[in-house]
Amino acid sequence: MKMLNRSALRLRAKPAFLEWCASVAPDDADELAALKAQLEQTGTVYLVPEVESEQDFMDAVVENAQDILTNELMAWCVDNSLWPELSAELLENWFTIDTELMCFDLSNQPLLLADPETLGGDGEIVESF
């Protein structure tokens, strides 16, 4: 087991985000309905620099809000002209944010860092450690 020098934010979709998804990707309504429980229950985890206080988490949310929202919205709509203005307030309105101070890696496999711009194609591993 390895302790990571990161803390984590876990996002779970709120109804407002699901409504937006349905409005911009009506052809994916069946897929969205199937994923609804997963989006509301399990969500997505984002690692942030290790924090020591609740204020540090708040700062991490504000500092990373646009990147997080870009990642979440891009999964449903690649046309960013259909996106609302990205802000920490929007992130908090569209997602429940749970926080975890400590992160542990239980895998024996090395951590891999992949460039998200190349994922989906012939994604290249940038770094292994």
For each of the chain's 129 residues, which pLDDT tens digit applies?
889 999 999 999 998 998 898 888 777 777 777 777 677 677 899 999 999 898 999 999 999 999 999 999 988 888 999 999 999 999 999 999 999 999 999 999 888 777 666 655 555 555 555
What is the structure's pLDDT at 128? Answer: 53
What is the structure's pLDDT at 75? Answer: 84
What is the structure's pLDDT at 42? Answer: 79
Residue 69, Cβ density class (10 Å: 0-12 exposed, 13-18 middle, ≥19 buried): buried
Element spanning 8, H or E: strand 6-13
Residue 55 CB coordination number (10 Å): 9
Q: What are the CA-CA distances from residue 99 to residues 55, 96, 117 (Å)?
A: 11, 10, 27
What is the structure's pLDDT at 33? Answer: 72
| pTM, rounded to two decimals | 0.80
For the record, the structure tokens of 121 come out as: 């194609």
Q: Which long-range contacts (CB under 8 A, 24 or more apart) does 74-79 make?
A: 76/20, 76/21, 76/24, 76/25, 76/28, 76/32, 77/21, 77/24, 77/25, 79/24
